[in-house]
Amino acid sequence: MIKMTLRIIFVLAFIMFITALIIDTTNNRTLEKPFNDLVDKVVYNAQPYPKDRVKEEQIRIYEDRIVINVADAKYASFADTHSQEPFFGEGSNAIQIAPESPQDIQLGDVITYRSTDSGSLIIHRVISIKNDENGLYYTLKGDNNKKPDPERVRFNQVKSVLIGVIY
């Protein structure tokens, strides 16, 4: 009798979970925001994504060209380190801008910084923002790396924020 009751409870819970997934994937994502966030984290392993820095009105599409109107944008290319694959790799073209303040950088942003350990320029994703006795710092990690970068990155080390990758 107890086994039968447990089976019924398990089947009902499974049906409710599948129903919630169906509702989640077919409904407007703003209606059930807290549940959607939970499903994103548990089912899809969703990560923070970069801040939207290029607004629709800054993009102009013409017959013969596309113009992205971003002040002080810089072109970037990448070394063959594999650390950001599959997001981008050697041969990818990118657009970057210089952040004006520490508040311009948020979780999920991909930034270029000058490493105090190696002196190299490194481009990785921000996975945490914290404070210590020296102030605000960022923890970064290559998308394809197993571990975060070892150093605490300060705003004065940050050179640019990635705003677009063109494949």
Q: Which of 124, 162, 161 is nearest to 145 (CA)?
A: 124
Residue 95 has pLDDT above 90, yes or no: yes
Instruction: Tell whether 53 is covered by a domain.
Output: no
14 and 94, same domain (yes or no): no
161 shares a domain with 113: yes
Strand partners for 113: 122, 158
pLDDT at 49: 76
Question: Does residue 63 lie within any of the structural domains?
Answer: no
pLDDT tens digits for 36-81?
655 655 666 667 778 888 999 999 999 999 999 999 999 988 877 8
* pTM assigned to the model: 0.70
Structural domains in the chain (count): 2
Domain ranges, residue 36: 2-42
Kind plus residue range of the DSSP H or E element containing 34 = helix 33-42
| Residue 58, domain member (yes or no) | no
The per-residue pLDDT for range 132-141, each reduced to its tens digit, is: 999 999 999 9
Task: Kindly tell me the burial class for residue 85, based on how many C-beta atoms sit within 10 Å of its own C-beta (0-12, 13-18, 19 or more).
Answer: middle
